[in-house]
Structure 1
Amino acid sequence: MPNNKSKPRPSRMSVYLYIPNIIGYIRILLNCYAFAICFSSKRLFAALYFLSFVCDAVDGWCARKFNQASTVGAVLDMVTDRISTACLLVILSQVYRPSLVFLSLLALDIASHWLQMYSSFLVGKASHKDVKDSSNWLFKLYYGNRMFMGYCCVACEVLYIALFLISSKHTENLMDVVVTTLKQGSPLSLLVAISLLGCSIKQVINIIQMKTAADACVLYDTEKKQKR
């Protein structure tokens, strides 16, 4: 006799207590404490910030492993990513000159991801990472290859952390610090060079993402008017 009983629906509280979501809450606490001590203990800040970033990969793995993917978890994950990166960029804008460099990166990061999220849900996609219909090979490679995406994302965070750690005083010239570091020929120089490349690629992808998402919104409006 077939079993017509439907699977029990998880309660609201159980979703909040999914393992990936709990990791997300831990990330928030780590970031809060890290930024509270960022100027008094740079190395501890860097360690806690990077640990929070690593947890970003761990919660994704847990979501797939335990079948605990959730909308609230996805939103929590992205919001935590954007806010933590935004806070670090704001700090860097106070340490280096011209500060507009980091503020521009902040604006680009938020605008591109927000537009991508909005346009994805506007056209009924389940995830903002669904870019199969895109004609841009770099954009498709970024969201289609986890290794490449991981490199670009890690490179950005490592570069920002490294720049914060090597700053010795406020209002330093960004270009002077980067050039001096690269000329040292040390392991730090190699790390900064590799991170700078990945971060640059990430910014190009952010621009492509913002333009692609804006085009999707315009297309949606155009098709909507044609149906009237």
Structure 2
Amino acid sequence: MAQTSPQKVVSVYLYIPNIIGYMRVLMNCVAFALCFSNKTLFAILYFFSFFCDGLDGWFARKFNQVSTFGAVLDMITDRVSTACLLALLSQLYRPGLIFLSLLGLDIASHWLQMYSSFLSGKTSHKDVKDKSNWLLKAYYGQRLFMAFCCSGSEVLYIILFLLAGNQSESVLDVCLNAMKQSSLLSLILCLTLIGWGIKQVVNIIQMKTAADSCVFYDMKRSR
């Protein structure tokens, strides 16, 4: 097998989408460092990092700079940033187990999907053409639909963080009180809840289908 030159390796690290990925990591580090002292700045940095998640993909396709490293960096950044925010929310609201359960579902679902994709020889965990579930195909096949679901989840978590008080409160009570005070906030919460709900259903379906793929892989090997 031909050896890869050090210059080629370095050039991959310096791909434009990968540089955007490094910036996302930095923004998230600063955001969480300031999350309690400056909630507004946290929300701005966190959301801009989330926005750049779509931006790096556009640059990768535009300049033909798609790389496995970039895809892994992108997913790790997504999962870690969402996990950190859910961990924060679990300390600000009761019952905190809700947010910890969402954290576990998010990580388990995506990890299983990545691993089952690897076993199937696929280059991307978003390749679900061979799956039978229509919602999973729509989620990964339609970029706007996927963007709506992901944005709904992240924006909902940011809003909950901004609404959180100094003492632990019921997440349901906080949402209902916020909706009573502002019709615009009510509309935003309803839209984000729809996107969030669909994403959680997709996570459950994805986890089940990925687990089935792992089982089928074992069955094929044992024949």
Alignment TM-score, normalising by the size of structure 2: 0.96
Distance 1:130 1:52 in 2: 25
Residue equivalent to 1:5: none
How far off its partner does 1:179 sit? 1.9
2:186 pairs with 186, 189, 207, which one?
189
How many positions carry a matched residue from both structures? 219
User: Are 1:94 and 1:170, in contact at CA under 8 Å, matched by a contact in 2?
Assistant: no
Q: Write the letter of the residue equivalent to 2:94.
A: R
Q: Which residue of 1 aligns with 2:217?
A: 220
Q: What displacement does 1:105 show?
A: 0.3
Map 1:29-48 onto structure 2 (within 5 A): 29-48=26-45
Deviations 1:163-205 (A, max 9, x none): 0001122311111112222333421111111101110110000
Contact 1:119/1:216, CA 8 A, preserved across alignment: yes
Q: Contact between 2:92 and 2:165, CA under 8 Å: does it hold in 1?
A: no
Taking the aligned partners of 1:129 and 1:144, their CA distance within structure 2 comes to 8
Residue 161 (structure 1) aligns with? 158
* 2-structure distance, mates of 1:176, 1:26: 36
Structure 1: give runs of 5+ residues left out of the alignment: 1-7
Gaps in structure 2 of 5+ consecutive residues: none
> Which stretch shifts more, 184-193 or 143-152?
184-193
Larger Rg: 1
CA displacement 1:29-70 (0-9 Å, x = unmatched): 000000000000000000000000011111000000000000
Letter of the 1:61 counterpart = W
How far 1:9 moved relative to its partner? 10
1:135 pairs with 2:118 = no
Distance 1:137 1:17 in 2: 37
2: distance between equivalents of 1:170 and 1:13?
48
**2:146 is matched with which residue?**
149
Q: Is the 8 A contact 1:182 1:193 kept in 2?
A: no
1:111 pairs with 2:108: yes
Q: Percent identity?
A: 66
